[in-house]
Amino acid sequence: MIHVIAIITAKPGRRAELLERFLAVVPIVHTEDGCIEYRPIIDNDAGLDGAREAIGPDTYIVVEKWSSVAALDAHAATDHMRKYGEETGDLIANRVLHVMRDTTS
- CA 99 – CA 69 distance, rounded (Å): 9
Q: What is the pTM of this model?
A: 0.88
**Of 27, 22, 29, residue with least CA distance to 8:** 22
- Please state which CATH number belongs to domain 2-101: 3.30.70.100
DSSP-derived secondary structure for 82-104: HHHHHHHGGGEEEEEEEEEE-S-
For residue range 36-95, list pLDDT tens digits in order: 999 999 987 766 666 667 788 999 999 999 999 999 999 999 999 999 999 999 999 999
In the 8-state DSSP scheme, what is residue 48? Answer: G
Q: What one-letter code names the amino acid at 54?
A: A
Positive or negative, the CA dihedral 16, 95, 7, 35 is positive
pLDDT score of 46? 63
**Of 99, 98, 93, residue with least CA distance to 56:** 93
pLDDT score of 54? 78
pLDDT score of 44? 76
